[in-house]
Amino acid sequence: MKIEDVVRNNETRFTRLPAILQFAEQSAFNEVYGFAGSQGVTVLEGQRLVPVGKPSKTVYIFMHPSSTLQLLPMPQALASAGMHVICAASRYPKQDSALIMEKVAIDLGVWIRWAKESCGYERVILVGWSGGGSLSLFYQAEAEHPTITHTPAGDPVNLVDAGLIPADGVIFIAAHKSRAELLTEFLDPSIRNELDPDDRDLELSIYDEDCPHKPPFDAAFIARFREAQIARNHRITARCQEQLEKFRKTRSAEVERGFVVYRTMCDPRWIDSTIEPNDRKPNWSYLGEPRMANVIPAGLARYASLRSWLSQWSYNCSNVTVPKTAPRIRKTPVFQIENSADDAVPASHNAAVRDALGTSDREYLIIKGATHYYVGQPDLLKQCIDAVYDWSMRKGLLTS
């Protein structure tokens, strides 16, 4: 059944086609709730946005590790401009507490194969938006030069023999270096006891009125703050590894455990706009007022499993970090777009990705004043879509 979208931009209507993919996969234990996974079947859901009366041999695939993207402005704007789009969810839609990044790469590979073999698209362009950016780099690196056979926890997930089909192009937009690196820069380093979020070091508790350090922060304090954030990530990583090793030695029925990570939205950049300045709104984060975002139940990485932490959040263990992925992309054209008023992606992440990319076929664009989501910015969104169209045409990835 076709569900026709009523949105009209550039006078092009598009149709939403629900897509459900499923494949057999055995796992030692369930990572997702309910039927999917528990019966040896992995189910993926998504939508294909097909412009009415505009066939194409090229499709743009959006995937975020844990979000569904079909209602965001950019996918809809691409489809409204006449380009075919697939918004592909992983097996962990809107729930990342047990997410394994290596398995998300498997899921993305299933979507790309389906796009080419079942839908008839000849060219696939990955659009890595936000958390999808590091996923796209990870996937493309493994598709070009596969190396991974196990997760950081030691569980088998063989990407070498997975038959991942490389994308024909990658668009990296409003995206950070990785979930592990981003979270580490957001961790509240004042936490001294992971089981008691009220046990804090006042010297590092920058949202506390009694903290002796106030914005603008000096360089020495920022360096100390960043070191403490990395140290906290390392402590959580070590605890996860120790608990998994304990499970292995005891050989009990319990092989995994969930836990809470308190205060995960604490970054001096949000309350001190002189740090990595861009056009972002001061005293604000993409989850709202920083002090509130730091403690809300829906905060970044608030709930995690031991294996998931090692795979997606661990600063030193995750396979999905820029130093491990970007240099290995050597054959694929990459178009990187930075939004200058982004309140989610630190400005320095854009330059780090640009400098680390192994491919010489790379282009970079800054859209002045654009926020993370382009909400209320139709002109800037159009600038983005026009740039994507122009790049795709010049690279021979799209035909008029």
| pTM summary value | 0.95
Query: Which amino acid, 177?
Result: K
Q: Which residue has the higher pLDDT, 24 or 12?
A: 24
Whole-number average pLDDT of the chain: 94
Q: Which residues pair with 336 in a beta bridge?
A: 172, 364
In this prediction, residue 11 has a pLDDT band, given cuts at 50, 70 and 90, of low
In this prediction, residue 2 has a pLDDT band, given cuts at 50, 70 and 90, of very low
pLDDT of residue 247: 95
Other C-beta atoms closer than 10 Å to the C-beta of 220 total 9
**pLDDT of 10 higher than 80:** no
> Could you state, in order of their start, the residue ranges of all structural domains in the chain?
3-178+318-394, 181-313
Burial 250-280 (b: 16+ CB within 10 A, else e): eeeeeebeebebbbbbbbbbbbbbebeebbb
Using CA atoms, how far apart are residues 26 and 112, in angstroms rounded to an integer? Answer: 21
> Phi, psi (5° rounding) for residue 366?
-110, 125
pLDDT of residue 326: 97
- CA nearest 103: which of 61, 34, 70, 152? 152
Residues 298-335: tens digit of each pLDDT: 889 999 999 999 999 999 999 999 999 999 999 999 99
In this prediction, residue 36 has a pLDDT band, given cuts at 50, 70 and 90, of low
pLDDT of residue 17: 97
**pLDDT of 5 higher than 60:** no
Residues 330-366: tens digit of each pLDDT: 999 999 999 999 999 999 999 999 999 999 999 999 9
- Mean per-residue pLDDT for 122-144? 97
- Indicate the class that CATH gives domain 3-178+318-394: alpha beta
The answer to whether 127 and 314 are in contact (CB under 8 A) is no
In this prediction, residue 38 has a pLDDT band, given cuts at 50, 70 and 90, of low
**pLDDT of 12 higher than 80:** no
Share of the chain above pLDDT 70, in %: 96
pLDDT of residue 251: 87
Q: Which two tokens stand for residue 173?
A: 């937009």
- Mean per-residue pLDDT for 224-242? 98
- Per the listing, tokens 């592909």 go with 88
**pLDDT of 93 higher than 80:** yes
Q: Which two tokens stand for residue 297?
A: 């139940």
- Mean per-residue pLDDT for 99-114? 98
In this prediction, residue 22 has a pLDDT band, given cuts at 50, 70 and 90, of very high
pLDDT of residue 37: 67
- Mean per-residue pLDDT for 60-72? 95
pLDDT of residue 263: 98
- Mean per-residue pLDDT for 171-180? 97
Q: Which residues pair with 41 in a beta bridge?
A: 24
**pLDDT of 4 higher than 70:** no
CA distance from start to end of the chain: 28
**pLDDT of 240 higher than 50:** yes
- Mean per-residue pLDDT for 200-204? 98
In this prediction, residue 153 has a pLDDT band, given cuts at 50, 70 and 90, of very high
In this prediction, residue 100 has a pLDDT band, given cuts at 50, 70 and 90, of very high
**pLDDT of 7 higher than 70:** no
pLDDT of residue 27: 75
Instruction: Give a three-class secondary structure readout of the chain.
Output: CCEECCCCECCECEEEEEEEEEEECCCCCCCCCCHHHHCCEEEEEEEEEEECCCCCCEEEEECCCCCCCCCCHHHHHHHHCCCEEEEECCCCCCCCCCCCHHHHHHHHHHHHHHHHHCCCCCEEEEEEECHHHHHHHHHHHHHHCCCCCECCCCCECCCCCCCCCCCCEEEEECCCCCHHHHHHHHCCCCEEECCEEEEECHHHCCCCCCCCCCCCCCHHHHHHHHHHHHHHHHHHHHHHHHHHHHHHHHCCCCCCCEEECCCCCCCHHHHCCCCCCCCCCCCCECCECHHHHCCCCCCCCCEEEHHHHHHHHCCCCCCCCHHHHHHHCCCCCEEEEEECCCCCCCHHHHHHHHHHCCCCCEEEEEECCCCCCCCCCHHHHHHHHHHHHHHHHHCCCCCC
pLDDT of residue 30: 74
In this prediction, residue 8 has a pLDDT band, given cuts at 50, 70 and 90, of very low
pLDDT of residue 396: 97
